[in-house]
Amino acid sequence: MKSITAIVQNEDANKLISALRDKGFSSTKLSSTGGFLSSGNTTIISLVEDERVDEEIEVIREVCKMKKKITAAIPPSSFSTIGGYLPQTIEVTVGGAVVYVTNVERFEKI
């Protein structure tokens, strides 16, 4: 048995959980916060039989696509109050998923 931990964007979380449920996978949803852009993330944990790992990862891949986002650039640390700071926008790639697959030595549902 394996544990699959997927860290996804909040906007993909409910769609992913529904897609997993439709394929017969159960999961647990945890709120988390990412380091990049300090955006809200969701961590989804699922236990799966060894032979279904690739199937679940494919569901994650289909739902959690990478996308482009326009955001304000972080102001310089030497911010000057004289003249102020006009933020520039930058395009960044967000989304997708970070997926960890680990062995489960023992599992009990009590």
User: Cα–Cα distance between 13 and 34 in angstroms, integer?
Assistant: 14
CATH number at residue 30: 3.30.70.120
Is 27 inside a domain boundary?
yes
**Cα end-to-end distance, the chain, whole Å:** 17
CB 99 within 8 A of CB 4: yes
Question: Which domain covers residue 30, as residue numbers?
Answer: 2-66+95-103
- pLDDT, tens digit, for every residue of 41-79? 899 999 999 999 999 999 999 999 877 767 676 655 555
Give 38's pLDDT tier (boundaries 50, 70, 90).
low
d(CA 3, CA 104): 6
**pLDDT tens readout for residues 4-26:** 999 998 889 999 999 999 999 99
- Tell me, yes or no, whether 90 lies in a domain: no
**Count of domains forming the chain:** 1
CA 49 from centre of chain: 22
